[in-house]
Structure 1
Amino acid sequence: MHTIWLPSIEGRDGPKYKALAEAIRDAIGDETLEVQQKLPPVRDLAWDLKITPGTVARAYTLLTDEGVLEAAVGRGTFVALPKPKAESESKADYLSDVLTVAPSIERRPDVARLTSPQLPDVGQAKLIQQHMGQVAANPRSGVMHYPNRKTFKPAREAVQHWLRGTPLGALDEEDIVLSHGGQNGVSLALQSILTGPSPVVLVEELSYPGFRRAAALLRAEVIAIPMDSDGMIPEAIAAVAKSHTVQAICTSPEVHNPTGLFTPVSRREEIVEVARAHDIQIIEDDCYRMGASRAPSYRMLAPERGWYVSSISKTLTPALRIGFVVAPKPSVPALRRSAEHGFFGLATPLADLAERLLNDPNVAECAAKVNAVFSQYVQTCVNHLGAYDVTWHKDVPFLWLRLPEGWRASAFCQAAEVERVQIRPAEEFAGRDARALHAVRIAINAQIDLEHFEAAIMRLRELLDNPSERIGV
């Protein structure tokens, strides 16, 4: 049920968002607003009250956190059912205990954190909990033994099943090693490849920061390669390889992080040709792809030197830290040694959980629903930011925005922070000495209800429309 209720905030003390929150509490108290009644959309109420959408969103968020309102993704904001007194007191006591133990806990729920994609719960949480309970009750691998290759075979087979449809070439379960997420997978691949006192790793000039961090841990030199709209420029790779001992390329050809660009098969083939000429291994990070692959992987194009890394962090949950590395056939023993000598393998209950989860027929449906929700949020961004230079794809949980004249990336991020929106500037994806680009990455946070998310994007649009003159100087 929708309401035509319109509050008045005139004469109320304090900030406007608190005044609006007080007016909503009063309307619920005198039953002007009934339980489960839908409140007006953020934009409509902001228009009627002649205040900003951000003010309305902040009031709704405040009351949602108090339990006065409840937000349903894609449906709106409603008056919440009253909670029993004992439950309310218990929750208050619990929060008090948490804040006493961890005083640094975030207490600004009105801030829209769009720095890293946050997945919606479309049923996968319950599914994971069910499998965790079943593993706890009857773990296939037991709880009294070290991990070993034989024990993990069912989990590797589950990963192989999960990767069906991904163009990886000939794939056996023995080619797979489980890792603690995608970042650990990149580190394992580099550990298996790099040799000698001064190895060199190539990355795109804008790239996932984890590539640089993994290489730095192994004391490798990182060199950034110029890009165009298709990805790394092959001639630039060849030029560096002539003067350096290049051993690995780290790249994200399906969904480039942070620009969202896609590397077509023709460019991949050119890069493979250069890699073969200079004996360079290619590590492909595919963690951000949510839809179908659009081109053969490097492992399929170059079976002797193509490595594949992915995880379930962007499709199901980042909490479990379940990732996987697929090595080229000649390098499988080296990859196994890196994992076994480094940490013996995943904890056996976690491997058992991976097996059960990735074999569950409902998991693919959950992943598809996650992608559908992300797509809805992406479309909301495009509706408001599409007039600007923005790169996006419905199957990618972030957007790349090149800022208009008058804005520098760092200044825009600072201004967005003032408006309670957190995003990442281009320099976070570039090397320390790289030329500053005036662009930002906006990640999709689907744990914010759509109305509040849209209000945050509208605040960014307002900044884009009204750049500060001094910033462009």
Structure 2
Amino acid sequence: MDDFRLIADRLAADISEGRLRPGDRLPPQRRFAREHRIAASTATRVYGELVRRGLAVGEVGRGTFIRAARPPADPALAEPAAAPIDLELNFPLLPEQGELLAKSLGGLIRADALGSGLQPTTPSGTAAVREAAATALRRGGWTPDPGRILLAGNGRQAISAAFSALAGIGERIGVEALTYPVVKAIAARLGITLVPIEVDEDGMRPDAVRAAHRATPLRAIYVQTAVQNPLGMTMPAGRRQELADVLTELDLPAIEDGVNGFLRADLPPLLALAPDHVMLVDSLSKRLAPGMSLGFLVPPPQFAERVAAALRSGGWTALRFAMEVATRCMADGTLAEIEAAKRRDARARQEVRADCLAGFTVRADPGSYHCWWELPEQWRAETFVAAAARRGIAVSPAAAFTVGAGHAPSAVRLALSCPPPDRLRAALEQLAGLARGTAEEAGIE
């Protein structure tokens, strides 16, 4: 019997050479198994491998479609008109930030600076990076104690360390019913069970946290209080206080993901309301750039050593050179300047989105780089994703963010940060026209 990866390789070649086009529907898995004389379980693994590689999108029983190709790493290698428009990835990079970073980091080429960056380090890093990070993490009048800050290689590693410190194999962490997809992968690798918690227009519901914990105790919750991914909402002050009160009542820890919080710097984090129960995680990946990231954790004192041990044992401790780079950018004002420019850019892009998708049901913080689009009733998310792929536009279906076995809503998340503004407008106008029609009109049967 062929290894499922070899079959996936052949399908990947068909996609690369144009025999399978974006938007094409793959046959049902049982029929695919019969045609290729393989077990149904092998067909399932083939389709799963295509999804894992980012070549297909879909769910068992609902259809699997070839998705739009990724743009090349160097945009100069592709014809601009033919390059797909990426509304999946959300890493904002501004044209002017390269020059700003070059000025900030020029001194690192000196021998003494390089020597410092090559030294070993610990999860607590250096006093300089902690002081700079405390200023960078300041929001809504709240500033962390520099002595409580720990460092990871990036935000994902910070989340991994937090999960590992608070829950063991088979234990439960509550998360928003629609959440950041990487959290699902992290939990799976650590053997942690995620429990979906209901949300409303203000974010995670405190009463739902209480009910889930009383049904079967949770070890912690994971929550995004500012510019939630994928739903786009920002938790108002009243809801934050209610959630903080429930955490204190239940003596339940929370992991607060603040990676998008810099886009709403006017609001303090949940940690400010429940400092003994909330661990803040953050990073420079979106604030600065994915290739120049550093992760931050601000744990309650009683969890500090456990988090530090998790960083060491997981291999998630930040490199000293990355700390040196980040310290310079944070301390000299470069990071603050780039953040302010990104806040302006995100609001401008949301204005474009509001104009192009007027009349549709769309949820977004006005300062966010993404939005949640509840599709018209004639569309299912996976079918719409396939139809968009045929037009060279990559979007993310609701199923990518759904926790548990529940039905995914008919919605898509649009990431707005990557395309130039003119291409973003063109893509949104195409999607709006597509949504006003039907799958049959779009050639998706």
Q: Give 1:264's aligned residue.
A: 236
Is structure 2 residue 404 aligned with structure 1 residue 426? Answer: no
Q: Higher mean Cα deviation, 219-228 or 231-240?
A: 231-240
1:460 alignment partner, one of 431, 436, 439: 431
2:119 alignment partner, one of 142, 145, 153: 145
Spell out the pairing of 1:24-63 with structure 2 (5 A cutoff). Answer: none
Q: Which has the higher contact order (CA 8 A, sep 6+)?
A: 2
Following superposition, the deviation at residue 107 of structure 1 comes to: 9.9
TM-superposition CA deviations, 1:294-333 (whole Å, max 9, x none): 5442211111111111112222211112121111132222
Q: Higher mean Cα deviation, 141-150 or 224-233?
A: 141-150
Residue 221 of structure 2 aligns to which amino acid in structure 1?
A: I
Q: Give 2:331's aligned residue.
A: 359
TM-superposition CA deviations, 1:429-453 (whole Å, max 9, x none): 002412120111110134x332222
Conserved? CA contact 1:209–1:428, under 8 Å:
yes
SS of the residue corresponding to residue 264 of structure 2 reads coil
TM-score, length-scaled by structure 1: 0.72
1:165 alignment partner, one of 139, 145, 156: 139
Residue 209 of structure 2 aligns to which amino acid in structure 1?
A: I
Give the fraction of aligned pairs with identical amino acids, expressed as a percent.
Answer: 25
- The total of aligned residue pairs comes to 371
The gaps in structure 2 that reach 5 residues or longer are 1-70
Residues 249 and 377 from structure 1, CA distance in 2 versus in 1: closer, same or farther, beyond 3 angstroms? same
Is structure 2 residue 299 aligned with structure 1 residue 343? Answer: no
Following superposition, the deviation at residue 218 of structure 1 comes to: 1.9
Which whole-Å CA distance do the structure 2 matches of 1:119 and 1:450 have between them?
Answer: 12
2:342 alignment partner, one of 367, 370, 395: 370
TM-superposition CA deviations, 1:139-163 (whole Å, max 9, x none): 2762553214676221111101212
Is structure 2 residue 166 aligned with structure 1 residue 193? Answer: yes
Q: Give 2:93's aligned residue.
A: 120
Which whole-Å CA distance do the structure 1 matches of 2:421 and 2:150 have between them?
Answer: 38
The gaps in structure 1 that reach 5 residues or longer are 1-60, 67-94, 96-104
Q: Give 2:274's aligned residue.
A: 302
Conserved? CA contact 1:199–1:221, under 8 Å:
yes
Residue 127 of structure 1 aligns to which amino acid in structure 2?
A: L
Q: Give 1:174's aligned residue.
A: 147
Spell out the pairing of 1:277-288 with structure 2 (5 A cutoff). Answer: 277-288=249-260
Residues 107 and 136 from structure 1, CA distance in 2 versus in 1: closer, same or farther, beyond 3 angstroms? same
- Which one has a bigger Cα radius of gyration? 1
Following superposition, the deviation at residue 226 of structure 1 comes to: 1.4
Following superposition, the deviation at residue 469 of structure 1 comes to: 5.6
Q: Give 2:184's aligned residue.
A: 212
Conserved? CA contact 2:158–2:316, under 8 Å:
no
Which whole-Å CA distance do the structure 2 matches of 1:344 and 1:226 have between them?
Answer: 31
Q: Give 1:451's aligned residue.
A: 422
Residues 302 and 411 from structure 1, CA distance in 2 versus in 1: closer, same or farther, beyond 3 angstroms? same
Q: Give 2:352's aligned residue.
A: 380
SS of the residue corresponding to residue 337 of structure 1 reads helix
Conserved? CA contact 1:390–1:399, under 8 Å:
yes
Residue 139 of structure 1 aligns to which amino acid in structure 2?
A: A
Residue 163 of structure 1 aligns to which amino acid in structure 2?
A: L
Residue 457 of structure 1 aligns to which amino acid in structure 2?
A: L
Residues 176 and 404 from structure 1, CA distance in 2 versus in 1: closer, same or farther, beyond 3 angstroms? same
1:436 alignment partner, one of 383, 408, 417: 408
Which whole-Å CA distance do the structure 1 matches of 2:232 and 2:367 have between them?
Answer: 10
TM-score, length-scaled by structure 2: 0.76
Residues 252 and 167 from structure 1, CA distance in 2 versus in 1: closer, same or farther, beyond 3 angstroms? farther
Q: Give 2:371's aligned residue.
A: 399
Residues 458 and 357 from structure 1, CA distance in 2 versus in 1: closer, same or farther, beyond 3 angstroms? same
Q: Higher mean Cα deviation, 391-400 or 125-134?
A: 125-134
SS of the residue corresponding to residue 142 of structure 1 reads helix
Conserved? CA contact 1:141–1:151, under 8 Å:
no
